[in-house]
Amino acid sequence: MSMTTTEDTGRFAWFRSLGQKGRRAFVGAFGGYGLDSYDYWVLPLSLVAISGYFGLTKAEAGLLGTSTLLMSAIGGAVAGVMADRFGRSKTLVITVAAYAFFTVLCGFATSYETLLIFRGLQGLGFGGEWAAGAILVAEYCKPKYRGRTVAFIQSAWAVGWGLAVIVNTLVASLADPSWSWRIMFWTGALPAILIFYVRRNVDDAPAVEAQPKPRGTFPKIFQGPMLKTTLFASLLATGVQGGYYTLAQWLPAFLQTGRHLTIIGTGGYLAFLITGAWIGYVSGGYLTDYLGRKKTFVLFAVASALLIVAYTQIPNGANTLVMFLGFPLGFCMSAIFSGFGSYLSELYPTQLRGTGQGFTYNLGRAFGAVFPGLVGFMADRLGIGGAMLFGAAAYGIAVVALIWLPETVNKELE
């Protein structure tokens, strides 16, 4: 009597296919990235209060965000090598501890210079967490599910963002502005709870544990055919993150100063943006599996650029339209990230995956940091809304980079 097995094709087959260890890795990576997002968003949401407390110019305020992204490039690159040499799960623990520790220290800053240093150091863990977490899950995935599975990890960013908005709204309504921003940074200790879960429950994928050590080194991602991959993957990451972090850094300030909303009113507008973002992360993951990685990147790069222009240039008096436009803007600017974890994992072999992915994604983050910095320097001349158009231009860089990169959909990891 022969037995036949039927393939699991249910809606959450992608999750069940991970197996018990893979599902635990998913929970650890999802939590790590969500809380990473929470700690990141504390600064943009508190930027007006911080600027008032320290008497900052827009350029100085912009530098706070830029320093985080620049240091994240170092953190991501180092964490990538650590992930290849010491393991994905161990690196995840270290990076989560780093960004939680320095976020809390930001709340104790006594001067702008101190805050700038602490925020920059927070970027070390901020950049490193994604490099470890996304690869950890990608290596447990079946090829046909990899795009949507890693996209669900990316969707944790919207969850952390939403949590930060809710907490910020509560804190701002209960505490004086001179203290509210400090309290927000102190709540950045929350990720420390996740460390205990990861240490007890999360292991690397068996194929990774079987690899001989030592593994990835920086020179190897610049040798032979890897050189072209590394250069253009970095350029792709620069364009996408330049556009995204322009919005991330300046959107709350744009709504408060350009649209004259209160902090509570800003929270309502951001709710549309965040809801669209979460749906975009998840939907974008399915599209990367169905349309392919490159077509999905191009689709959402063009859409994001057009929506930035529309969102920032709507005349005064049409705030309701701005609010509703936040949903498609959040959708597109987040959906484009859904393919990053799977795409970069597929561009590099196992021995170089952590190094390559950590370096390219975070080098792009560092160069992308130029764009929110430009907004800060140009805001006095063009207004925040006008200066934010630099973010739309950044997406064009991403489209150009894709010309020289291969399609990798359904590729087995080597």
Instruction: Write the DSSP string, 298-323.
Output: HHHHHHHHHHHHHHHHSPTT-HHHHH
Measure the CA–CA gap between 327 and 202, rounded to whole angstroms.
35
Mean pLDDT of the chain: 85
pLDDT at position 122 is: 92
Banded pLDDT at 78 (limits 50, 70, 90): confident
Homologous superfamily (CATH) of 18-200+213-404 is: MFS general substrate transporter like domains (1.20.1250.20)
For residue 271, is pLDDT > 60? yes
pLDDT at position 2 is: 46
pLDDT digits (tens, 9 = 90+) for 296-350: 999 999 999 999 888 888 877 777 888 888 899 999 999 998 888 889 989 998 8
Measure the CA–CA gap between 166 and 347, rounded to whole angstroms.
38
For residue 209, is pLDDT > 70? no
For residue 113, is pLDDT > 90? yes
Smallest CA-to-CA distance from 327 within 374, 280, 259 is with 280
Query: Do the Cβ atoms of 157 and 277 come closer than 8 Å?
Result: yes
Measure the CA–CA gap between 138 and 141, rounded to whole angstroms.
5
pLDDT at position 1 is: 44
Parse the chain into domains and list their residue ranges. 18-200+213-404
Least confident interval from 179-188, 265-274, 301-310, 392-401: 265-274
pLDDT at position 171 is: 93
3-state DSSP: the chain helix, strand, coil percent, rounded to 5?
A: 80, 0, 20
For residue 176, is pLDDT > 60? yes
Banded pLDDT at 103 (limits 50, 70, 90): very high
User: For the chain, what percent of residues have pLDDT higher than 70?
Assistant: 93
How large is the C-alpha radius of gyration of the chain?
20
* Range 171-183 average pLDDT: 91
Least confident interval from 2-6, 190-194, 235-239, 245-249: 2-6
Highest mean pLDDT among 181-195, 236-250, 294-308: 294-308
For residue 47, is pLDDT > 50? yes
* Range 21-43 average pLDDT: 89
pLDDT digits (tens, 9 = 90+) for 351-390: 888 888 888 988 888 888 788 778 877 877 777 777 788 8
pLDDT at position 379 is: 78
Least confident interval from 84-93, 215-224, 293-302, 353-362: 215-224
* Range 179-199 average pLDDT: 88
Least confident interval from 9-13, 171-175, 306-310: 9-13
What sign does the CA torsion over 304, 307, 313, 316 have? negative
